Amino acid sequence: MSNNSISLKQAAYRSGLATSLFKFIFEKTKSECTTDFNNLIALASDINQEVHHALLKYSPTPLTLRLLSYIKHRRPVPLTQAMHLTGVGISLYEVILDQASKDCSIESRDMLSLACDINQEVYRALLAVIYDE
């Protein structure tokens, strides 16, 4: 699996992209999808932000990001917990994608699918690091 995995630095970057993508998706689907569906997207976004915060601890980060982390008074979760959260996110994305096929536009489904793909790459990277594969 290590041949297919990305580095932790790349995983942190991609999880940051997914966080931005989720914010955009949430704004786009507010009027187009149900409240329950938007709540699922918000939950997935929160999970992704928690994983991103954990990955920043283990990858080289600019000083401003480190300072912001201290200002928030939040300690990042360990990588094993980040891997678990990413796995939960994968399951949640399956539910979201199933619901999106009924309620949302093709563009929204494509963006959600991209977020799911990013999450799977991050999961594989965490799996490779944690189990030294």
Percent above pLDDT 90 for the chain: 0
Q: Note the pLDDT tens digit of each residue in 42-99.
A: 888 888 888 888 887 776 656 666 666 666 555 667 778 888 888 888 888 888 888 8
For the chain, give the mean pLDDT. Answer: 79
Q: Is the pLDDT of residue 35 over 50?
A: yes
Q: Could you tell me the domains of the chain?
A: 8-131 (1.20.120)
Write the CB contacts of 38 (distance below 8 Å, at least 6 apart in sequence): 26, 29, 30
pTM of the model: 0.72
